[in-house]
């Protein structure tokens, strides 16, 4: 079978007809290539499905191997949950292995990737966490953020230092997340139909043990690897789903953010905002940031401004104001009750979000007015990926010994 191909002007990689982005370097294809008349044989799929399935099985087994050493999946040991701290280590190394094998098999950096995962395992398990509510939660939440940077390096290889390489990884993570949710929904539907079929047929079967001990945990781990493979194949053959969903949900989240903003401003006293409300606010701000990243990364830099661009600017401005409110409340809680791991981590992430969202709003407004080129916004966003990972590394390395000793 043969098909006509075009070539990326940035790296020379052959492109599938109709693709808007180069799968290798992430460069946008905007009428920049001329289809060649040379007919080439369609290559073998770069992603070996059998290899991916073996990796998925390995990730599914990893979550159960710890039981051989007495670490029960649902029980706490010494006030600390082993699986909660190490959850990302059970699966992200396998995703990185898949990406290295299929995308960057010849790069020098690929040979060094196991070292950060080993360091993460050491950090996650070396400390005796005296107060799980104070240190274990922040460690468990920040470890996958730091390890995602390693997955990004596995995805982009030497291109990680470029804006195009980082944006390509951003698009990959969006597709990865969407496909994982779809797989999860399909798996839950399959389990429900199986249980309903047993009931209709009058078959008496206790599914609680296999469901909770094997099907759910193993399926959840294996699906992460399968979703990564699906996302990689999806981006290799055409446009992704994540930017479409991001564009669809941006107006809805804009309404939600403005409602929360009005409610926060009318409440008056930001210092009385409780911890759960602050957590919800930070999650919302991270979702807004994700919507912006996935929408802008797939936008044609040469396209004229649209109504969606204006909605995004309004959403960014409102998000900046909400972040300032969260910062004021966090500083108020620190002033009243002192520093803890949770409050310090929240303070750091809110400062980073303020810089990221504030800079994005300023650059987006300038681009809309024609005073700054649109790629400046892309560069600003891509530069913050290492910043988030660096802060996560500081939290998981420094916070346990500091806050367990004070």
Asked if pLDDT for residue 40 goes beyond 60, the answer is: no
pTM exceeds 0.75: yes
pLDDT of residue 348: 93
Burial class (CB in 10 A: 0-12, 13-18, 19+), 229: buried
Asked if pLDDT for residue 146 goes beyond 80, the answer is: yes
pLDDT band at 25 (very low <50, low <70, confident <90, very high): low
pLDDT band at 1 (very low <50, low <70, confident <90, very high): very low
pLDDT of residue 117: 93
Asked if pLDDT for residue 337 goes beyond 80, the answer is: yes
The pLDDT tens digits of the residues spanning 153-207 come to 888 887 888 888 888 898 899 889 989 999 999 888 888 887 777 777 766 667 7
Average pLDDT of 240-245?
A: 76
- Distance, in Å, from the CA atom of 292 to the CA atom of 287, rounded to the nearest integer, reads 9
Complete DSSP assignment for 161-220: GSHHHHHHHHHHHHHHHHHHHHHHHHHHHHHHHHHHHHHHTT-----HHHIIIIIHHHHH
Q: Is 23 in a helix, a strand, or coil?
A: coil
Complete DSSP assignment for 303-366: SPP-HHHHHHHHHHHHHHHHHHHHHHHHHHHHHHH---HHHHHHHHHHHHHHHHHHHHHHHHHH
- Distance, in Å, from the CA atom of 19 to the CA atom of 17, rounded to the nearest integer, reads 6
The pLDDT tens digits of the residues spanning 346-400 come to 899 999 999 999 999 999 899 888 888 888 888 888 888 899 999 999 998 888 8
pLDDT of residue 32: 39
Rounded percentage of the chain residues whose pLDDT exceeds 90? 21
Asked if pLDDT for residue 142 goes beyond 50, the answer is: yes
Asked if pLDDT for residue 34 goes beyond 90, the answer is: no
Mean pLDDT over the full length of the chain: 79
Average pLDDT of 225-234?
A: 90
The label of the residue with tokens 């300038």 reads 366
């Amino acid at each position: 079978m043969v098909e006509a191909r075009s070539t990326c002007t940035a790296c020379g990689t052959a492109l599938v007809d109709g693709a808007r982005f180069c799968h290798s370097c992430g460069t946008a294809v905007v009428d920049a290539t001329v289809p060649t008349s040379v007919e080439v044989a369609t290559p073998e799929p770069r992603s070996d499905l059998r290899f991916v399935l073996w990796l998925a099985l390995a990730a599914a087994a990893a979550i159960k191997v710890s039981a051989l050493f007495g670490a029960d999946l649902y029980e706490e040991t010494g006030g600390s949950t082993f699986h909660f701290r190490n959850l990302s280590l059970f699966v992200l190394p396998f995703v990185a292995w898949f990406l290295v094998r299929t995308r960057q098999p010849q790069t020098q950096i690929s040979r060094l990737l196991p070292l950060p995962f080993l360091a993460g395992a050491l950090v996650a398990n070396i400390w005796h966490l005296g107060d799980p509510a104070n240190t274990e939660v922040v460690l468990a939440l920040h470890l996958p953020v730091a390890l995602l940077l390693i997955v990004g390096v596995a995805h982009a290889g030497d291109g990680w230092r470029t804006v195009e390489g980082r944006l390509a990884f951003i698009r990959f993570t969006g597709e990865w997340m969407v496909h994982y949710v779809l797989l999860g929904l399909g798996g839950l539907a399959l389990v429900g139909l199986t249980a309903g079929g047993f009931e209709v047929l009058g078959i008496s079967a206790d599914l609680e043990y296999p469901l909770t001990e094997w099907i759910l945990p193993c399926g959840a781990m294996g699906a992460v690897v399968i979703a990564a493979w699906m996302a990689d194949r999806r981006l290799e053959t055409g446009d992704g789903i994540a930017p479409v969903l991001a564009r669809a949900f941006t107006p809805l989240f804009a309404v939600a953010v403005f409602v929360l903003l009005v409610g926060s401003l009318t409440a008056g006293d930001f210092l009385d905002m409780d911890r759960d409300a602050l957590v919800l606010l930070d999650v919302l701000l991270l979702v807004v940031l994700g919507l912006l990243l996935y929408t802008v990364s797939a936008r044609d830099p040469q396209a004229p401004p649209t109504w969606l661009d204006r909605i995004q600017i309004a959403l960014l401005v409102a998000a900046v104001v909400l972040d300032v409110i969260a910062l004021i409340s966090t500083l108020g809680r620190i002033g009243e009750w002192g520093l803890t791991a949770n409050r310090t981590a929240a303070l750091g992430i809110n400062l980073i979000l303020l810089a990221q969202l504030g800079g994005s709003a300023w650059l987006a407004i300038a681009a809309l007015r024609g005073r700054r080129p649109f790629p400046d916004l892309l560069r600003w966003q891509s530069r913050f990926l290492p910043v988030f990972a660096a802060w996560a590394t500081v939290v998981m390395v420094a916070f346990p010994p500091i806050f367990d000793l004070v």
